[in-house]
Each structure stands twice: as structure tokens, then as C-alpha cells.
Chains A and B, each alone.
Chain A
Amino acid sequence: MNAQVPSWAGVATSAALVVVCVLVVWRQRLGLSRDVLVAAVQAAIQLVAIGAVLLLLFRHTGLPGAIGWLALMVVIAGQVAGRRARGLPQATWIATAAVGVGTAATLGVLLATGVIAIETRVVIPVGGMVVANAMQTAALVLSRLREEARTARPAIEARLALGLPAREAFAPHHRSTLRYALIPAVDSTRVVGLISLPGAMTGLILAGVDPLTAIRYQIVVMYMLLAADALAALIAARLSERALFDQAHRLRQVATP
């Protein structure tokens, strides 16, 4: 790799572009100057910190450190996605399980088959992409199911009253939720490269990799994200179903967030 990477002086120079943004919001009296400055400084601090952590992981901890780091990301993702579905019983636990299984299954298959290298510098960024995608999907599933359980209670109870088991009574809502949650993943897969150059490919090209090589990586990543989203959605939906109904096939009350 012989790509030219900006020096620290170059980074400092690019800060002038933040000033451009501040000038625009200040001249337009948007009242956002302080927010822009805080965001820019915060982003720099966060990235320096994460760069230092990654350096530590790459140099000293090896694969166990990478897996530990991924596990931490899964826990954080579970908290974030669970918060989106406040009011749904056990939302955080469900989101964590969905993201964790979606990530472990897809990344595990690609590592086990040797499609991607078992190296810290591969596992962490690729795993991070999977976790982020699975988190968004799990959050969509949980928040949508919570709304379905609240707004479609008469229809769900009408099916239960006919003697249908909870899973059948909830099936139409389960299906529509999965569809709703997976459409973004399908759409972004369909337009990849046309209206966006995705992260993995962009990174490889910036690092000096031949574009035709970079796209191979991207294709693998897209397929992995599709599978991870589908698994995370399914697990989130199934676990939510169990949390939404009791042993006597009754729909629990879902608290208003």
C-alpha cells in the first residue's frame, strides 16, 4: 500500500473547512456555531481515542482482543437499539441477542470458510459494519413491533379469542414488521455503487487497492450485511413475540414510552 495519508499538519489544515462551516452558520444566524465547533472537536477526540485503542488491539491483544472489542460493540448496540423500543418488555436484552447472533453467525461463517482473513485489522472493521447494520435493523423491528402490539391489539385479541395460538395470532404483524425492517437493507444492496460508494470499498481504494479488487471485498460485505440483517430481524421478532405474550397466550400490556 503506497497511498498518501494526510499528515497531522494536513489534518490541522483541513480544520480550516470547519471554519468555513462556522462562518456560514454564523453569517446566516442559525445559532449553530457553538454546536459545529463542539461537534468538530468531539469528532477529532473520539477518532484519536478510537485510533489509539485500535492500535493497541492490533499490536498487542491479537484476535481475543478483537473479539472482546466486538462483544463490547454488540453490548452498546443492544443498549441503543433497546432504547428505541422502550416499553417493549426485555427490549435491551432482545436487541443485544439479535445483534450478537446476527454478527457472530455471519462473521463466523466468513472467517471459518477463509473468505476473509482471521486478523484483528479485518475482524474489527468488518465486524463493526455488521454490528452497526444489525443494530439498525433490530431497532426497526423492535420499535415497529411495539407499535403493532399497541395499535393492533383488537385484531390480535380477535385471533386469540378464536383459539389461535399467540404465534399465529401475531403472524401478520410479524411478517409486515420483518418486511418493513428488511426493505432498507434490500434497497441499499440494490443501489450499491450507483448512488453510493460504500465504506469498505472506499477505504480500500483510498488505501491504494485496485478498484476491481476493492469491489470483491464490498460484494462479500454486502452479502454479509444482508444475512446479518435478516438474522437480527428474525431473532428480534421471535424473541419479542415471546416477551409480548404470556403462557396463556395473552398479549401483555405494552407501556407507552
Chain B
Amino acid sequence: MVAVFTLEEVSVRRGQALLLDSVGIEIRAGSCTALVGPSGAGKSTLLRLLNRLGEPTGGRVLLHGRPLPEFDVLALRRRVGLVAQAPTLLTERVLDDLRVGRQELTEDEAAKLLERVGLPDSMLERPTAGLSGGEAQRVCLARTLAVKPEVLLADESTSALDPASTAAVEAVFKQLAADGMTVVLVSHDAAQARRIADEAVVLTAGRLVEHGPVAQVAYLQGDAV
């Protein structure tokens, strides 16, 4: 098993609160890993450590065996893309949004990115203000893919979407994982984790509770969490 990320005794403390408590896991290359657990379990905190939008106060995070601080942080973030919970569009036109992280992106490349996330290329000229939540989240996903990341992090990226949009975004995650991209997603929805992921990491109150293939993780075997 080739580990993309290795977390060694990682802790995050903010003030008096211990958000992550000595978490040690490995995230396999090409896997789709779901971080699950109740609210406040530390899932998003853990995810943000992987592209250094957050920093551990104890332990260390390795990428391909090298501690993250050894990488140039800007280059690291291009290798490890993040899609946030709420879709945040940054410009007035879809094409411009796709170019935020890569200005030299051609229209053809932009059209292919939209196709990859299940949107028509006619949307390139659309104003971002008129997009539905599902369309906006897929544009954000395409914008992240534009910088050609090796890993995709998704932080509850469907939690603000309706069922149809959720299904569309999930389909994109599945396809990316099938294409060999390492995907790490935070979800509070056990059914979603079962649908998309092949591995699951269960956190509760900042502590690692379970880690393994989705079919073997007891936390995911109920109807809802």
C-alpha cells in the first residue's frame, strides 16, 4: 500500500479545546476516503491540515513520506486541492472563475473541465450570479481541478445541495476516484460515505475511533448517523 498522507500522532489544540487528539492514519494513493463522525468530531480540522490551511499543534503530517512544512506551501496547495462546504464563486463569469488558479487556462480546457463535472460548455459565458447551488458547487470543483491536483479534498461539499445536485456531485467524486485520483471527503452522512468511499476514518470528539474499508467500519452500517 502506497500512502499519500501519513498522520503521526496529530493533535490540534485551540485555546483550551483539543480538536484532534493524537490521530494516526494513512491515506492510500488512489483511494476515496471518507472522514465521518458527529458534528465537532474534528473532521474538517483534519482535512484542513492536509493542504496546510490548518496546522497541527502536535505530531506531523507527511506527504509521500515528507513532512508538509518541507514543501513550498503554495505548490503544496496546487497538488492538494480543496472544495469547501459552501460554493464560493470568486468572479462574475464562469470562465473567469475557472481561471482564478490557472490564468492560462484555454477555453477548450475550461470546456473539458465543465464536461468532467457534468456541466455543458455553454455555461462558460454564464454569469456566476445566476447559478444554482449544485451548478455553483460543480464550477468550484472544476476550478479546483483546473490546477491539476493530485489529491482532492472535499469538505461536506454536498451538505448545502438538493438531492439531485448531491447525486451529480457524488457522481463526479466517484469518477475522479475511478480515474485514480486520491479523494478525501468529509461527510456527516453515513449513506453517502457508503455510496462513494472505499475507506472510512471515524472520528469522535477529536479521537480516531475506526479506520478501514467502508464495508468493515461498524459506524457506517446503520441507516443514518
Q: Which residues of B contact A162 (CB under 8 A)?
A: 77-78, 81, 100-101, 143-144, 147
Q: Which residues of A contact B140 (CB under 8 A)?
A: 158
Q: Which residues of A contact B73 (CB under 8 A)?
A: 248-249
* Residues A116-172 near B (CB distance < 8 A): 154-155, 157-165, 172
Q: CB distance B53 to A164 under 8 Å? A: no
Given contacts A164-B101, A248-B55, A250-B55, contact A159 B90 (CB under 8 A): yes
Q: CB distance B75 to A163 under 8 Å? A: yes
Q: CB distance A155 to B90 under 8 Å? A: yes
Select one of A154, A163, A164, A249 contacting B84, CB under 8 A: A154
Q: Which residues of B contact A158 (CB under 8 A)?
A: 84, 88, 90, 140
Q: CB distance B52 to A250 under 8 Å? A: yes
Q: CB distance B144 to A161 under 8 Å? A: yes
> How far is it, in angstroms, between the C-alpha of A165 and the C-alpha of B143 when the chains are bound?
17
> How far is it, in angstroms, between the C-alpha of A250 and the C-alpha of B100 when the chains are bound?
18
Pair count A-B, CB < 8 A: 52
> How far is it, in angstroms, between the C-alpha of A223 and the C-alpha of B100 when the chains are bound?
38
Closest CB in chain B relative to A25 CB, distance in Å:
49
- B183 contacts chain A at the CB level, 8 A cutoff: no
> How far is it, in angstroms, between the C-alpha of A154 and the C-alpha of B86 when the chains are bound?
8
Q: CB distance B53 to A250 under 8 Å? A: yes
- B82 contacts chain A at the CB level, 8 A cutoff: yes
Q: CB distance A160 to B101 under 8 Å? A: no
Instruction: Count residues on chain B whose CB falls below 8 Å from chain A CBs.
Output: 23
Which interface residue of B51, B74, B78, B147 has the most chain A CB atoms within 10 A?
A: B74
Select one of B52, B55, B78, B100 contacting A159, CB under 8 A: B100
Closest CB in chain A relative to B80 CB, distance in Å:
9
**Closest B-chain residue to A165, C-beta based?**
B74
Instruction: Count residues on chain A whose CB falls below 8 Å from chain B CBs.
Output: 15
**Closest A-chain residue to B73, C-beta based?**
A248
Q: CB distance A164 to B86 under 8 Å? A: no
Contact with B along A167-180 (1 / 0, CB 8 A): 00000100000000
Which interface residue of B86, B90, B140 has the most chain A CB atoms within 10 A?
A: B90
Q: CB distance B74 to A164 under 8 Å? A: yes
Q: CB distance B55 to A160 under 8 Å? A: no
Q: Which residues of A contact B52 (CB under 8 A)?
A: 248, 250
Given contacts A248-B73, A249-B74, contact A161 B81 (CB under 8 A): yes
Closest CB in chain A relative to B125 CB, distance in Å:
21
Q: CB distance A163 to B74 under 8 Å? A: yes
Q: CB distance A163 to B78 under 8 Å? A: yes
> How far is it, in angstroms, between the C-alpha of A212 and the C-alpha of B81 when the chains are bound?
64
* Residues B129-173 near A (CB distance < 8 A): 140, 143-144, 147
**Closest B-chain residue to A158, C-beta based?**
B88
Closest CB in chain B relative to A172 CB, distance in Å:
8
Closest CB in chain A relative to B105 CB, distance in Å:
12
Which interface residue of B51, B88, B143, B144 has the most chain A CB atoms within 10 A?
A: B88
Q: Which residues of A contact B53 (CB under 8 A)?
A: 157, 160-161, 250
Q: CB distance A163 to B101 under 8 Å? A: yes
**Closest B-chain residue to A247, C-beta based?**
B73
> How far is it, in angstroms, between the C-alpha of A157 and the C-alpha of B54 when the chains are bound?
11
> How far is it, in angstroms, between the C-alpha of A248 and the C-alpha of B143 when the chains are bound?
22
Q: CB distance A163 to B55 under 8 Å? A: no
Q: Which residues of A contact B81 (CB under 8 A)?
A: 161-162
Contact with A along B69-106 (1 / 0, CB 8 A): 10001110110011010101010000000001100000
* Residues A222-257 near B (CB distance < 8 A): 248-250
Question: What are the 5 closest A-B residue pairs judged by CB atoms, nearest first?
Answer: A162-B101, A163-B78, A161-B82, A163-B77, A154-B88
List residues of B whose CB falls within 8 A of some A CB. Answer: 51-55, 69, 73-75, 77-78, 81-82, 84, 86, 88, 90, 100-101, 140, 143-144, 147
16 pairs, A vs B, C-beta closer than 8 Å:
A155-B88, A157-B84, A159-B100, A161-B82, A162-B81, A162-B144, A162-B147, A163-B74, A163-B78, A163-B147, A248-B55, A248-B73, A249-B73, A249-B74, A250-B54, A250-B55
> 6 more A-B contacts (CB under 8 A) besides A162-B81, A162-B144, A248-B52?
A159-B100, A161-B53, A162-B78, A248-B55, A250-B53, A250-B55
